[in-house]
Copies of this chain bind each other. A is one copy, B any other.
């Protein structure tokens, strides 16, 4: 089995690749470790044929590395949904539990919960769940903060990096699927007034930048 650290590197590189070339420093920042440690690990990953690595040129996942990365992400997201839907975990706690278990559940376990959940496409935060063959649905990228008053939108995805923010989302029922009308938008990155579940609510810009929506159709 790949060690937990190796799995975490693969996951991280995968996520960084989406947003451009992956440098040593970006990985180091993401994982809060020194650059030297990253260089060391990249060499190891390279000997394991999990990445293509050339000194000073950045790193890319190999076919095999990408396969593992997607498997881990799939495990994570299915676990999150599973913990929420079938175990009854509160939204802000699913991430931590999934982060631990994602490395240890068997393929068999994952494919069973996939089936029990009805082969879902998105996790509780709206992130797409890769299939077991590695296909991955498109993910919604436009934050609520970029829409204008008058528009009706549907929440597609919420950021899951901050447990406190997640708890707030959950409390406010600002979760994937929720329908929102934008009423007002204060200038200079000010708060946004929305109509949500029949109520008028005001959310800060910080929040609005972490809610990804699409136009209601």
What's the minimum C-beta distance from A105 to chain B, rounded to whole angstroms? 7
Stretch of A36-44, A96-104, A145-153, A206-214 that contacts chain B: A96-104
Tell me the minimal C-beta distance from A148 to chain B in angstroms: 42
Q: How far is the CB of A94 from chain B (nearest CB, A)?
A: 10
Q: How many copies does the complex hold?
A: 2
A197 within 8 A of B: no
> How many Å lie between the Cα of A142 and that of B86 in the bound state?
38
B100 in contact with A112 (CB, 8 Å):
no
Q: How far is the CB of A27 from chain B (nearest CB, A)?
A: 25
A73 to chain B, nearest CB (A): 18
Whether, in the assembled complex, A47 has its beta carbon less than 8 Å from a beta carbon of chain B, the answer is no
Task: Tell me the count of chain A residues lying within 8 A, CB to CB, of chain B.
Answer: 18
For A116, what are the chain B residues with a Cβ–Cβ distance below 8 Å?
Answer: 87
CA distance A86 to B26 in the complex (A): 41
A105-139 toward B: CB 8 Å interface, digit per residue (1/0)? 11011001100100000000000000000000000
Q: Write out the residue numbers on chain B whose beta carbons fall within 8 Å of the beta carbon of A87.
A: 109, 112-113, 116
Closest Cβ of chain B to A80, distance in Å, is: 13
Q: Is the interface of A mostly helix, strand, loop or mixed?
A: helix
Q: Nearest residue in B to A4 (C-beta to C-beta)?
A: B104
Residues of B within 8 A of A97 (CB): 105-106, 108-109
Give the contacting residue for A101; candidates B93, B105, B112; CB below 8 A: B105
Q: How far is the CA of A112 from the CA of B83 in the complex (A)?
A: 10
Distance in Å: Cβ of A206 to nearest Cβ of chain B: 29
Contact of A108 among B89, B103, B104 (CB under 8 A): B89
Which 10 A-B residue pairs are closest in the complex by CB-CB distance? A87-B112, A100-B104, A104-B104, A97-B106, A101-B104, A88-B112, A97-B109, A87-B109, A87-B113, A101-B105
